[in-house]
Amino acid sequence: MNVDATDCQNEQNALHRLTESWGTRAAVSLYLDRCQVDTPDDIVSKVWELVYERRAGLVGKAVDFGAGDGRFARGERYLQYCGYEIDPTRSPQRSLPKRATVLHQCAFSQSIEDADVCIGNPPYVRNQDLPTGWRQRVADSLFARTGVSISGLANAWQYFFLLGLASTKCDGLVALVIPYEWVSRPSVRGLRDFIKRHRWDVCVYRLRDETFERVLTTSSITLVDKSTSAGKWQYFEEKPEGGFRALPSVTESADGAVDYLKRSKMEKPEVFAKRGLSPGTQRVLVLTEGQRVRTGLRMHSDVVPCVTSLRHVDAGCTVITNSVFNRDFRLAGLKCWLIRTDRQPSRRLRDYLSSVSESDYQTATCVNREEWWKFAMPEAPPLLAATGFRGDRPKIAINCIDARAVGSVSGIYGVSSRKRKALVQAFQELDLSGRIVPHSNGLRKLEIHQMNALLEELCKKTGESR
């Protein structure tokens, strides 16, 4: 074995020792693969510029808990930079400044409390892809330090954000590149409330959508200044020509974002929205018409109709009929057949599932199931509604084919047949363009609890009680 191969093997062994308590190797590998998104040099510079605006002279100790190749060490106006990067293959590609070090160990392995600044771009990994052992250990550690219980729906960056708040001095500064949606999402409420209780100042700079090619979410530079007690929150957006302009609220509207309403708090909980099914992987569990025909799977007995997107449906279409389904989904080559899991699979379906390569279902959801393909079969909702949109509102349509809602299409349940048309019409009169926090690339995303808030309002308007 040559020297390079030996070094590589040693790195892998060291990484395995650091992560063996997190979960299976497959789960850990999936997490680490999705951690690595490099921050553009100009964003690194912008973050440091915003730090310097608030901290004159040299910064004392700067910590970076998702250091990657150490690119945030290039600020150099600090006495000490300490980066943490658990993956030893992510070695700095350039020589680090003399006062900077990158440690190949878990960012949560030490309880730092003396940092003047926490800086960087923490990993963006979905909660579904977080290794169970890592998530539990880190959540317990952060709760012991802060008293904050992180939501089970939290993505990886939330853990690192809270770590930054816990690791900086009482007058410290946290400056991170994180999704802009943190300012409104319910899963981040505990973290926002923690900041508000301490009355720290917050400035959130929404970046242009094209900032990160591989990340499908609107990003921000978020600064939390612990040296003040005014509790002031300010929002900005990056201008195309450079610089930032102030926003009236978390959105472009002075009214702010659409409220969130849990079903348990609704006056009429019989009518509610539910997220589209996440089967584990649409790649092999949701089929196109061509795939269904080639695999010999039969309609309704092996697979049932589903809708994964309303993007290709005409904006004026308010009813999904058989003719619409055939034209806009089956013949258009969209994924529109969901395998059935609510009955014993036929020999045809068993043969298909057995033929699927293991590499095609390497998601945390699938690999942690007793049977990788078996999900709970959802009911067909009376209405189908997109969650993402670019115009004034998401598309919505009456479901006349008993299709299941999958992925980004949500189901609206409990609407009586005589009120479905009126509710769809009332929904189409909404203008939500300025009241939804941007998601990515001009796309806005209406969250389920926000849809419930709108449904409650619209049910009152249409007189829907069931």
- What is the CATH number for 343? 3.90.220
Could you say which of 217, 246, 275 is where a domain stops?
246
Beta bridge partner(s), residue 220: 178, 206
Alpha-carbon span 370 to 373, nearest angstrom: 9
Q: Is residue 89 part of a domain?
A: yes
**423 pLDDT tier (thresholds 50, 70, 90):** very high
Exposure string of 407-432, with b = 16+ CB inside 10 Å and e = fewer, is bbbbbbbbbeeebbebbbebbeebeb
The beta-strand segments (E) located in 38-145 are: 59-64, 78-84, 100-103, 115-120
Beta bridge partner(s), residue 61: 80
Q: Is residue 154 part of a domain?
A: yes
22-25-26-28 Cα dihedral, nearest 10 degrees: 40
**8 pLDDT tier (thresholds 50, 70, 90):** low
Q: Is residue 78 part of a domain?
A: yes
Per-residue pLDDT for 19 more than 80? no
Q: Is residue 183 part of a domain?
A: yes
The beta-strand segments (E) located in 321-364 are: 337-339
Q: Is residue 205 part of a domain?
A: yes
Q: What are phi and psi of 116, to 5 degrees?
A: -80, -35
Beta bridge partner(s), residue 317: none
Same domain for 146 and 272, yes or no, is no
Could you say which of 221, 246, 271 is where a domain stops?
246
Same domain for 336 and 406, yes or no, is yes
Per-residue pLDDT for 109 more than 70? yes
Beta bridge partner(s), residue 272: 413
Quote the tokens at residue 190: 């505990």
Same domain for 304 and 354, yes or no, is yes
Same domain for 221 and 370, yes or no, is no
Quote the tokens at residue 93: 């590609």
* CA distance to 255, 309, 443, per residue, from 325 (Å): 38, 12, 24
Mean pLDDT along residues 77-103: 86
Q: Domain containing 112: what range? A: 11-246
Alpha-carbon span 385 to 458, nearest angstrom: 14
Alpha-carbon span 272 to 274, nearest angstrom: 7
**How does pLDDT run across 168-227, given as a tens digit for each residue?**
999 999 999 999 989 988 889 999 999 999 999 999 999 987 665 555 578 899 999 999
Across 102-111, 127-136, 345-354, least confident range: 127-136
| Domain of residue 156, CATH code | 3.40.50.150
Share of the chain above pLDDT 90, in %: 61
User: What is the value of pTM for the model shown?
Assistant: 0.70
Q: Is residue 252 part of a domain?
A: no
Q: Is residue 174 part of a domain?
A: yes
**How does pLDDT run across 208-220, given as a tens digit for each residue?**
876 655 555 788 9
**How many structural domains comprise the chain?**
2
Same domain for 157 and 288, yes or no, is no
Alpha-carbon span 50 to 171, nearest angstrom: 16
Same domain for 270 and 232, yes or no, is no
Q: What is the pLDDT of residue 162?
A: 97
Same domain for 304 and 422, yes or no, is yes
370-373-377-382 Cα dihedral, nearest 10 degrees: 150
Rounded to the nearest integer, the mean pLDDT of the chain is 88
3-state secondary structure of 18: helix
Q: Is residue 180 part of a domain?
A: yes
Could you say which of 191, 213, 246 is where a domain stops?
246
Same domain for 131 and 56, yes or no, is yes
Phi-psi region at 2: left, alpha or beta (left = phi > 0; alpha = psi -120 to 50): beta
Mean pLDDT along residues 309-336: 95
Q: Which residues contact 167 (CB under 8 A, 6 or more apart)?
A: 63, 65, 111, 112, 113, 115, 118
Same domain for 272 and 165, yes or no, is no
Pair 101, 83: CB distance under 8 Å: yes
Same domain for 199 and 317, yes or no, is no
Pair 434, 253: CB distance under 8 Å: yes
What single letter denotes the amino acid at residue 280? G
DSSP letter for each residue of 134-166: HHHHHHHHHHHHH-----TT--HHHHHHHHHHH
Per-residue pLDDT for 448 more than 60? yes
Alpha-carbon span 442 to 440, nearest angstrom: 6
Same domain for 270 and 230, yes or no, is no
Long-range contacts of 198-202 (CB under 8 A, 24+ apart): 198/226, 198/229, 199/228, 199/229, 199/230, 199/231, 200/224, 200/225, 200/226, 200/228, 200/229, 200/231, 201/225, 201/228, 201/230, 201/231, 201/232, 201/233, 201/234, 202/232, 202/233, 202/234
Same domain for 415 and 378, yes or no, is yes
